[in-house]
């Protein structure tokens, strides 16, 4: 459970580089989420619960995949 | 700072202090119970008690408790270890149980006295719940759980980690103390926790059974003989909830002890969380007992509007206790699922797992998800009572609706009954091939039928509510979906019959219990569709038929297999053999008595006896059947006491049990009995199929991984 | 009756025998699966609350009869009158905090410690602002301030099913936000002691997944509370 700082990294590190691509990707996802939220706010007068739920599921899927990286669950080498 | 507190809690002074607390609290408790019984008998016998009797009892109780507290403080240092009472208090001061109960009491008292006069919502000026400090009880109960957890030490490692300390898992018993003390302390070993669950479960079962016998005595004859109606209500409500707790504890015992060994792991994936799951049940149980003392009359379902308006305050402690038990369910279910996913031994793929592990998975799927919705329902009642938040009162605009509670409640509580019976099914499938010396018939179908029961369990909840005022369309849907439960259950029955068919059967006690459970569950199963069918249910709902059906399913699906499992794995757990004759006596007393009880309940139900009612009309002519049921209940109670005597005395016998007394192929029998700290002396691998009984003996299922060069 | 023996040759003095070591990747996988199962479990909690919202915030037959001025039908979804501004701003704050959380996680994985701690602080402050927005303004703990910002008197928990469900939903969510904030503080504290080096970042990852999960819940709560249904005054 705990992270032992004094030991060397326990998992094989991938060549992560400086992470510029990762930072850029999460920023793009964030912008998409912001746009979707504004769309939600703007389509409210249409009074369509279905549309709002579709938008909510879309946003949730983006967060679950890109921010919570659910795909790591199926990755055996665990990093 | 945190470390200092932890160290202080293990200091000599703290231990003496806890011993003092144990002495005082236990004396207080025992005397309270004794005086309660005494007053009850005096009341029944119509003896004129002296006027100041109650005050006198209070004084005696106080003085004795203080004296025992002082004795405990002295004994805590160990100087009185020559006396049994001194030894008792000395060790009591060293248990997590006593530390935790002290913490729980302390936090509850502080919160209650600080909050008693605080009004939660200013605009509620009157009302029973505000006036009686009910909000303070709820908040006190909630926070007292943390009091228990912190003082007992369940949270110590996590708290230290929060403050940046590294903690290591501590294995083995408390240093310098006798081995048995680890069963009263926080221990992370899954077998210790399994036994903690099991022993607690049996004790709780006895308590629930005792309550049942008390109100069965009342029901044996028409008219009120022993109790007031309020007491009767409290007794049957508490019987329901306490038995449910007992069954959950039993399920926890089976899964915790067996599942990790069966998949070839050394322990669960999260050992600390495992300890947490067990120990949080203790403060919850304290709340349930507290609810009993205050009195609660809602039954175990706690339906509003009655639960949201009853003046018996025990109901809030019942709701809180139920709620807290949910944490245990969720945490242990997640733990089990993770363990099965990540900790299986080499070669143990999903289709080679012992069948019990499949049922553990199915049970955990229901437990870790559905438990949340009952939490929502229970907290809504608590919020309505204490904060004036309206969910269930239809007088507002828009209106509240009590049926909402029933939906949320049964969405959990229906899967919950499958949580109890599915592990029992797993035990039947696990043990039948061993005693029939034949392969399990249709392994994959049996494995999938457990998952099937779990999934169907999620879509049948509203069949409990046919008379609650639901739209007709919903009733039809739930009637049909309920009938689907028969399919996976039928698969299991066919598999059991197919396994028995042509087998070379032997009949030691575990096998008797397994066969008995099949017969009893058949009774429960066949009485079910009659309740699931709307037209018949409209007549039978809320009658004793439901009581008979329910007890048959739970005895057949859980209690009988559980007792069978206790006898079966007894040599594994203790390394000794139980007394076969007493075991068979237990079975042959319990099975016929149970049949009489359950069928009797169905009969009185058909003849107009309503459930949850303290009395009945003599004109119904139910006296004879009711007396018969009461006698049967007493027989069941005595037979369970025989089992406990058997298990207790056999554990002390000098003779060791054979290594694999049943000739089982299951991997746990490869390891020595009792199991070593980390189960297998060397890692095992799976190289065959699990249930190839009666075939070529060379086809082994599991073996220790051969060392390189062998 | 010792049901667990210590080693098979009875070394009773050696109580602290070593457990078979669980490799870090296996433990990491267990942790991930466990946390995700917890998230799935909590879905049922929040879905229960959402079910209550759509079950209770509806037009009943009585309401149609007694409020002829409203053009509503029986069964139509309702919502209480809440400030759109407050709802939108708090939602935005939680979304931005989620972005900073994932930024902190990426930074931790790449060993950018300064950026990680800064991002965690931003997340913390935004989360706290969200919490205060809900507790002070939406709940009306400071009624005058809430009145000034939203333009109408705040809804009370005792205001029928609207107040009850609103407080139950936001309250349950607020509890999760609060634990998330504590979690972030623990991360900041422990990172000063050198925890969470690259390759050992499970602590940050766990907190991030939890924090995003709280955000996902709000993604559904925001439309359910503020956007869906006809406003009932």
Please check the confidence at residue C107 and state whether its pLDDT lies above 80.
yes
Q: Tell me what pLDDT residue C13 has.
A: 41
Q: What is the CATH number of the domain that holds C163?
A: 1.20.120.80
Mean pLDDT over the full length of chain C: 88
Please check the confidence at residue C84 and state whether its pLDDT lies above 80.
yes
pLDDT digits (tens, 9 = 90+) for B474-530: 899 999 999 999 999 999 999 999 999 989 999 999 999 999 999 999 999 999 999
Q: Return the minimum-mean-pLDDT range out of B37-46, B84-93, B242-251, B532-541.
A: B37-46
Say what the pTM is: 0.93
Nearest residue of B to residue C35, measured between CA atoms: B334
Does the CB of A4 have a partner CB in chain B at under 8 Å? Answer: yes
Average pLDDT over residues C151-172: 90
Portion 14-73 of A in contact with C at CB < 8 A? 16, 18-19, 22-23, 26-27, 30, 33-34, 37, 40-41, 44, 47, 49, 52-53, 55-56, 59-60, 63-64, 66-68, 70, 72-73
High-pLDDT (> 70) share of chain B, %: 97
**Residue A7, domain member (yes or no):** no
Neighbours of A59 (CB within 10 A): 24
Neighbours of B295 (CB within 10 A): 18
Number of domains within chain C: 1
Distance of CA B588 to the CA centre of its chain: 25
pLDDT digits (tens, 9 = 90+) for B57-86: 999 999 999 999 999 999 988 888 888 899
User: Token pair for residue B600?
Assistant: 């009797």
**Residue C55, domain member (yes or no):** no
Q: Give the model's confidence band at C158: pLDDT under 50 very low, under 70 low, under 90 confident, else very high.
A: confident
Q: Which chains touch A (3 or more CB pairs under 8 A)?
A: B, C
Please check the confidence at residue B705 and state whether its pLDDT lies above 90.
no
Average pLDDT over residues B90-115: 93
State how far the Cα of C18 lies from the Cα of C14, in Å rounded to an integer: 10
Q: Give the model's confidence band at C145: pLDDT under 50 very low, under 70 low, under 90 confident, else very high.
A: confident
A23: chain C residues, CB-CB within 8 Å: 103, 106
Q: Give the residue from B313, B310, B377, B374 showing the smallest Cα distance to B136.
A: B313
Q: Tell me what pLDDT residue A77 has.
A: 54
Q: Tell me what pLDDT residue C11 has.
A: 40
Average pLDDT over residues B615-640: 94
A1: chain B residues, CB-CB within 8 Å: 161, 270, 272
**Residue C168, domain member (yes or no):** yes
**Residue A61, domain member (yes or no):** yes
Average pLDDT over residues B613-624: 91
Please check the confidence at residue B590 and state whether its pLDDT lies above 90.
yes
Helices and strands of chain B, counted as H and E runs:
25, 2
Provide the terminal-to-terminal Cα distance of chain B, rounded to the nearest Å: 54
Mean pLDDT over the full length of chain A: 81
- Structural domain including C218 reads 82-227
Q: What fold does the segment set B179-651 form as a domain?
A: Cytochrome C Oxidase; Chain A (1.20.210)
Q: Tell me what pLDDT residue B146 has.
A: 94
**Residue C24, domain member (yes or no):** no
Please check the confidence at residue B98 and state whether its pLDDT lies above 90.
yes
**Residue A2, domain member (yes or no):** no
Model ipTM value: 0.93
Provide the terminal-to-terminal Cα distance of chain C, rounded to the nearest Å: 69
Tell me A74's DSSP state. G
Q: Which chains touch C (3 or more CB pairs under 8 A)?
A: A, B
Q: Return the minimum-mean-pLDDT range out of A16-20, B611-615, C77-81.
A: A16-20
Q: Return the SS3 of B209.
A: helix
Number of domains within chain A: 1
Q: Give the residue from B590, B567, B593, B594 showing the smallest Cα distance to B580.
A: B567
- Structural domain including A66 reads 20-74
**Helix, strand, coil percentages, rounded to 5, for chain B:** 70, 0, 30
Tell me B477's DSSP state. H
Burial of B11-30, coded b for 16+ CB within 10 Å and e otherwise, reads eeeebbbbbbbbbbbbbbee
C230: chain A residues, CB-CB within 8 Å: 47
Q: Tell me what pLDDT residue B124 has.
A: 54
Average pLDDT over residues C198-212: 94
- Is residue B269 within 8 Å of C30, Cβ to Cβ? yes
Q: Tell me what pLDDT residue A79 has.
A: 43
Please check the confidence at residue A14 and state whether its pLDDT lies above 60.
no
**Residue C213, domain member (yes or no):** yes
Size of chain B, expressed as the number of residues it contains: 710
Please check the confidence at residue B125 and state whether its pLDDT lies above 50.
no
**Residue C12, domain member (yes or no):** no
Average pLDDT over residues B406-416: 94
């Amino acid at each position: 459970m705990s992270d032992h700082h004094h030991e060397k990294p326990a998992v094989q590190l991938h060549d992560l580089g400086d992470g510029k691509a990762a930072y850029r990707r999460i920023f793009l996802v964030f912008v998409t989420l912001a746009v979707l939220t504004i769309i939600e706010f703007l389509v409210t007068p249409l009074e369509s619960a279905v549309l709002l739920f579709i938008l909510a599921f879309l946003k949730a899927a983006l967060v679950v995949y890109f921010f919570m990286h659910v795909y790591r669950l199926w990755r055996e080498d665990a990093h | 700072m945190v470390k200092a507190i932890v160290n202080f809690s293990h200091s000599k002074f703290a231990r003496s202090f806890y011993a003092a607390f144990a002495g005082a609290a236990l004396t207080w408790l025992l005397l309270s119970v004794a005086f309660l019984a005494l007053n009850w008998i005096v009341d029944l016998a119509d003896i004129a008690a002296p006027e100041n009797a109650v005050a006198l009892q209070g004084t005696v109780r106080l003085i004795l408790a203080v004296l025992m507290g002082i004795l405990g403080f002295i004994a805590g240092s160990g100087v009185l270890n020559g006396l049994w009472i001194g030894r008792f208090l000395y060790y009591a001061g060293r248990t997590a149980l006593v530390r935790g109960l002290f913490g729980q009491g302390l936090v509850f008292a502080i919160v209650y006295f600080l909050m008693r006069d605080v009004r939660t919502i200013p605009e509620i000026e009157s009302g029973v719940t505000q006036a009686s400090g009910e909000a303070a009880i709820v908040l006190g109960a909630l926070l007292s759980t943390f009091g228990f957890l912190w003082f007992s030490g369940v949270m110590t490692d996590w708290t230290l980690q929060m403050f940046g300390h590294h903690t290591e898992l501590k294995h083995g018993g408390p240093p310098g103390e006798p081995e048995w003390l680890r069963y009263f302390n926080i221990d992370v070993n899954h077998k210790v926790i399994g036994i903690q669950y099991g022993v607690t479960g049996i004790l709780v079962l006895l308590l629930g059974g005792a309550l049942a016998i008390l109100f069965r005595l009342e029901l044996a004859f028409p008219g009120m003989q022993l109790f007031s109606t309020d007491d009767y209500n409290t007794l049957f409500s508490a019987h329901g909830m306490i038995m449910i707790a007992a069954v959950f504890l039993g399920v926890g015992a089976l899964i915790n002890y067996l599942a990790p060994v069966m998949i070839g792991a050394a322990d669960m994936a999260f050992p600390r969380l495992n300890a947490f799951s067990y120990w949080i049940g203790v403060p919850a149980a304290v709340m349930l007992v507290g609810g009993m003392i205050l009195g609660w009359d809602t039954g175990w379902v706690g339906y509003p509007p009655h639960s949201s308006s009853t003046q018996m305050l025990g109901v809030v402690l019942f709701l809180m206790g139920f709620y807290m038990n949910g944490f245990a369910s969720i945490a242990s279910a997640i733990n089990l699922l993770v363990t099965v996913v990540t900790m299986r031994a080499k070669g143990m793929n999903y289709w080679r797992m012992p069948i019990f592990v499949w049922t553990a998975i199915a049970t955990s799927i229901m437990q870790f998800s559905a438990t949340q919705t009952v939490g929502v329902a229970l907290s809504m009642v608590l919020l309505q009572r204490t904060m004036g938040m309206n969910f269930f009162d239809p007088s507002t605009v828009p209106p509240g609706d009590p049926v909402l509670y029933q939906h949320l409640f049964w969405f959990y509580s229906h899967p919950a009954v499958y949580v109890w019976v599915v592990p029992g099914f797993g035990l039947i499938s696990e043990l039948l091939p061993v005693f029939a010396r034949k392969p399990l018939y249709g392994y994959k179908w049996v494995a999938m039928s457990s998952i099937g029961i779990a999934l169907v369990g999620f879509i049948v909840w509203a069949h409990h509510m046919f008379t609650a005022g639901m739209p007709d369309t919903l009733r039809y849907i739930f009637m049909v979906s309920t009938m689907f439960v028969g399919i996976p259950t039928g698969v299991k029955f066919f598999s059991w019959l197919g396994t028995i068919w042509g087998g070379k059967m032997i009949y030691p006690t575990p096998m008797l219990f397994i066969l008995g459970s099949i017969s009893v569950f058949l009774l429960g199963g066949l009485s079910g569709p009659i309740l699931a069918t709307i037209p018949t249910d409209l007549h039978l709902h809320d009658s004793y038929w439901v009581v008979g059906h329910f007890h048959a399913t739970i005895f057949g699906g859980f209690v009988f297999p559980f007792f069978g499992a206790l006898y079966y794995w007894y040599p594994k757990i203790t390394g000794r053999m139980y007394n076969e004759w007493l075991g068979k006596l237990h079975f042959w007393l319990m099975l016929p008595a149970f049949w009489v009880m359950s069928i009797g309940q169905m009969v009185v139900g058909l003849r107009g006896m309503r459930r949850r009612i303290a009395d009945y009309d003599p004109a119904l002519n139910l006296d004879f059947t009711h007396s018969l049921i009461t006698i049967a209940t007493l027989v069941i109670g005595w037979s369970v006491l025989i089992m406990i005597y058997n298990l207790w005395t056999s554990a002390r016998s000098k003779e060791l049990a054979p290594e694999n007394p049943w000739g089982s192929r299951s991997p746990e029998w490869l390891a020595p009995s009792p199991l070593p700290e980390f189960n297998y002396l060397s890692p095992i691998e799976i190289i065959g199929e699990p249930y190839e009984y009666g075939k070529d003996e060379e086809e082994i299922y599991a073996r220790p991984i051969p060392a390189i060069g062998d | 009756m010792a049901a667990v023996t210590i080693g098979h040759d009875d070394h009773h003095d050696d109580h602290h025998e070593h457990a078979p070591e669980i490799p870090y990747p296996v433990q990491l996988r267990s942790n991930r699966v466990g946390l995700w199962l917890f998230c799935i479990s909590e879905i049922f909690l929040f879905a229960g609350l959402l079910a209550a919202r759509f079950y209770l915030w509806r037009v009943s037959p009585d309401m149609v009869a007694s409020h002829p001025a409203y053009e509503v039908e029986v069964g139509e979804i309702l919502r209480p009158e809440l400030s759109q501004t407050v709802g939108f701003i708090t939602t935005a704050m939680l979304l931005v905090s989620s972005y900073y959380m994932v930024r902190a996680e990426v930074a931790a994985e790449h060993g950018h410690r300064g950026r990680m701690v800064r991002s965690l602080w931003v997340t913390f402050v935004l989360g706290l602002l969200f919490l205060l927005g809900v507790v002070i303004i939406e709940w009306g703990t400071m009624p005058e301030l809430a009145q000034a910002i939203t333009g109408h008197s705040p809804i009370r928990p005792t205001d029928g099913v609207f107040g009850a469900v609103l407080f139950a939903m936001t309250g349950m969510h607020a509890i999760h936000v609060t634990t998330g904030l504590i979690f972030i503080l623990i991360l900041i504290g422990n990172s000063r002691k050198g925890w969470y080096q690259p390759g050992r970042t499970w602590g940050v990852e766990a907190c991030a997944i939890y924090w995003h999960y709280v955000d996902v819940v709000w993604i559904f709560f925001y439309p359910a509370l503020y956007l869906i249904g006809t406003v009932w005054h």
